[in-house]
């Protein structure tokens, strides 16, 4: 996926502030943070969104959720509470079509989201 922004971050062609990394996942700060902690957890391989990741059916979705929780612990928001969001498809506001979990925390989060 030569033209994918997040593949370029994986390839270190575009810089990012990496906060956590595993063999198959990478977590870095969102450049337009919506909360004091706003980290994106991505798969190193390219999947368009959470639907494609779910279809991968090889434990990779588990890895992403575990990485999201590890980020929350590392960012010290796990105890107080945090939110994990996958915007999936245009109607949900997905703008980057490489699967990413938003990990949000550090403030009271309203419900329902907009
Ligand atoms: P989406 O709208 O697809 O759910 O989320 C995409 C997210 O990627 C947005 O929150 C946006 O701020 C973030 N983003 C877009 N471009 C970049 C970038 O170049 N670097 C980083 N770290 N985040 C980005
Ligand atoms: Zn990609």
For residue 45, which phi and psi values (nearest 5 degrees)?
Answer: -80, 160
Q: Are the beta carbons of 77 and 39 closer than 8 angstroms?
A: no
Q: Compute the chain's Rg from CA coordinates.
A: 13
61 Cβ neighbours under 8 A, 6+ residues apart? 50, 53, 54
pLDDT digits (tens, 9 = 90+) for 10-35: 999 999 999 999 999 999 999 999 99
Domain ranges of the chain: 5-105
Cβ of 4 closer than 6 Å to ligand 1, yes or no, is no
Ligand 1 centre to CA of 96 (Å) is 7
For ligand 1, what atom is nearest to the CA of residue 5?
A: 19
pLDDT for the residue 78: 98
Q: Rounded distance, CA 17 to CA 1, Å?
A: 22
Q: Is 56:103 a contact under the CB 8 Å cutoff?
A: no
Give the per-residue pLDDT at 1.
53
The active-site residue out of 38, 69, 98, 100 is 100
pLDDT (tens digit per residue) in 76-88: 999 999 999 999 9
Computed over every residue of the chain, the mean pLDDT equals: 96
At 114, the pLDDT band (50, 70, 90 cuts) reads: confident
Q: How far is the CA of 94 from the centre of ligand 1 (A)?
A: 9
Residue 100 annotated to the active site: yes
pLDDT at site 26: 98
Ligand 1 pocket member 85 (CB < 6 A): no
Render pLDDT for 49-58 as a digit per residue (tens, 0 to 9).
999 999 997 9
Ligand 1 centre from 66 Cα, in Å? 21
pLDDT of residue 2: 73
Is the C-beta atom of 6 inside 6 A of ligand 1? no
Q: What is the pLDDT of residues 87-110, one digit of tens each?
A: 999 999 999 999 999 999 999 999
CA distance 77 to 52: 28
Give the pLDDT score at 92.
Answer: 96
CATH superfamily of 5-105: HIT-like (3.30.428.10)
């Amino acid at each position: 996926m030569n033209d994918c922004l997040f593949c370029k971050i994986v390839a270190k062609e575009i810089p990012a502030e990496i906060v956590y990394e595993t063999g198959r996942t990478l977590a870095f700060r969102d450049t337009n943070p919506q909360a004091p902690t706003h980290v994106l957890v991505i798969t190193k391989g390219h999947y368009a969104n959470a639907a494609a990741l779910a279809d991968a059916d090889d434990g990779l979705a588990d890895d992403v959720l575990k990485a999201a929780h590890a980020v929350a612990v590392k960012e010290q928001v796990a105890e107080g509470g945090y939110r994990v969001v996958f915007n999936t498809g245009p109607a949900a506001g997905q703008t980057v079509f490489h699967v990413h979990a938003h990990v949000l925390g550090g403030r009271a989060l309203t419900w329902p989201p907009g």
